[in-house]
Amino acid sequence: MTGFKRNAAFDTPQFLQQKWQRTPVFLPGFLPDFVDPLTAEELAGLACEKAVESRLVTSKDNSQWQLEHGPFPEQRFRKLPELDWTLLVQAVDLWDSGVASLKTQFDFIPSWRIDDVMVSYATPAGGVGPHFDYYDVFLLQGSGQRTWQVGQLCDSKTRIRNQSGLALLDSFEATAEYVLNPGDVLYLPPGYAHWGLASTAGLCYSIGFRDPSLAEMLEGFGDYLIAATDSDCRFRDSPPAIPAYAGEIDPLSLQNAFELVSKAFTKPASFASWFGCLVTRPKYPEFIQPMARPLQQAELGALLENDRVIRRNAGSRFAFLDSTDAGEVLLFADGEVFSLSHQLLDIVVEICSTSPLNNWSFPIEKMSTEGQRLLLELINQGSLVTEDAT
One DSSP character per residue, 219-250 reads: HHHHHHHHHHS-TT----PPSP---SSTTPPP
Confidence of residue 355 (pLDDT cuts 50, 70, 90): confident
pLDDT over threshold 50, residue 81: yes
Arithmetic mean of pLDDT, 301-313: 80
Predicted pLDDT at 1: 44
Mean pLDDT of 180-197: 98
Angle at 210 between CA 209 and CA 215, to 5 degrees: 145
In contact, 72 and 47? CB cutoff 8 Å: yes
Q: Which domains does the chain have, with CATH numbers?
A: 12-209 (2.60.120.650), 214-266 (no CATH), 285-386 (3.40.366.30)
Distance from CA of residue 105 to its chain's centroid? 15
What integer is the mean pLDDT of 321-329? Answer: 85
Strands 85-89 and 137-141: unpaired
| Position 365 pLDDT exceeds 90 | no
* pTM for the predicted model, two decimal places: 0.92
Q: What is the mean pLDDT of residues 61-72?
A: 89
pLDDT above 60 (res 266)? yes
Higher-confidence position of 39 and 389: 39
The predicted structure's pLDDT at residue 360: 73
Give DSSP secondary structure letters for 279-336. HTS-SSGGG----SSPPPHHHHHHHHHSSEEEEE-TT--EEEEEETTTTEEEEEETTE
Please give the average per-residue pLDDT across 187-192, as a whole number. Answer: 98
Q: What pLDDT is attached to residue 362?
A: 79
pLDDT at 195 over 60: yes
**244 has pLDDT over 50:** yes
Q: How confident is the model at residue 243 (pLDDT cuts 50, 70, 90)?
A: confident
Q: Which candidate, 26, 39, 11, 283, places its Cα nearest to that of 140?
A: 26
d(CA 187, CA 12): 13
Share of the chain above pLDDT 70, in %: 98
Confidence of residue 390 (pLDDT cuts 50, 70, 90): low
Across 93-118, average pLDDT: 96
Q: What percent of the chain has pLDDT over 90?
A: 79
Helix (H, G, I), strand (E, B) or coil at 191: coil
Query: How far is residue 324's CA from residue 299's CA, in Å, rounded to a whole number?
Result: 32
State which amino acid sits at residue 109: I
- CA dist 346 and 83 (Å) reads 52
Q: What is the mean pLDDT of residues 239-247?
A: 82
Look over the chain and give the mean of its residue pLDDT values, rounded to a whole number: 93
Phi, psi torsion values for 168, nearest 5 degrees: -105, 150
The whole-angstrom separation of Cα 159 and Cα 272 is 36
Q: Does residue 323 surpass a pLDDT of 90? A: no
Task: Give the residue, 86 or 359, on which the prediction is more confident.
Answer: 86
